[in-house]
Amino acid sequence: MNEVISKIVYLIKKEVNFDEAANLMIQNNLTIEKLSQQTLKLSQLDLARLADKILQKK
């Protein structure tokens, strides 16, 4: 798991900061699919909330 994905997981699981996690996803041009393939630590609900934040920011 690379450093950016680790930071995204940390922001979601430990800090519950979906806004900052969404910003990192956009800045690094990551997709929800790539994120879910790289880690099993995020639930479907986590991924759905993250996707909602990404869509709000675009």
pLDDT tens per residue, range 21-34: 999 999 999 999 99
Please report which residue ranges of 1-58 form alpha helices under DSSP H.
3-13, 18-27, 32-38, 44-57
The pLDDT > 90 percentage for the chain reads: 95
Decide: 47 and 36 in contact? Cβ < 8 Å.
yes
pLDDT at residue 29, as a whole number: 96
> b/e per residue, 26-43, with b = 16+ CB within 10 A?
eeeebeeeebeebeeebe
pLDDT at residue 51, as a whole number: 97
In degrees and rounded to multiples of 5, residue 43 shows phi and psi of -80, 170
pTM of the model: 0.91
